[in-house]
Amino acid sequence: MSIFNQLFSVRFGLSSETRILEVCNWDEDRASQVIETFSSAIESVIDTGNHLSKDAMLSSVVDILNESLEDNEVEALVEILEESMQNFNFIIDTNTEYEN
């Protein structure tokens, strides 16, 4: 497993990686390409510096993914991203204040 795939597993979880492998018919090379495209799309949207709503961010990511991935791959990635966005507040407590 490459370092990139390990980072994906940490960020989105092993179940997400498994879901992508399933949608890629267990082709590890294709799954790696899909994961790389997904991560690049997310980074591209974040790097724009615009403070997008969740819906606008999701739409922008989907537009990028549709350029190079199959429909079933995009569908699986959208589900993963939506789940991650829904669970974001549970993962990172945005109400916590820290003192320096």
pLDDT in tens, the chain (100 residues): 444 455 555 566 667 888 999 999 999 999 999 989 998 888 888 887 666 777 888 899 999 999 999 999 999 999 988 887 776 544 334 444 545 5
**Single-letter residue type at 87:** N
**Number of compact structural domains in the chain:** 1
What's this model's pTM, rounded to 2 decimal places? 0.72
Residue 36's domain spans which residues? 3-89
In a domain, 95, yes or no: no
**Cα–Cα distances in angstroms (integers) from residue 43 to residues 1, 35, 40, 48, 61, in the given order:** 21, 12, 5, 9, 9
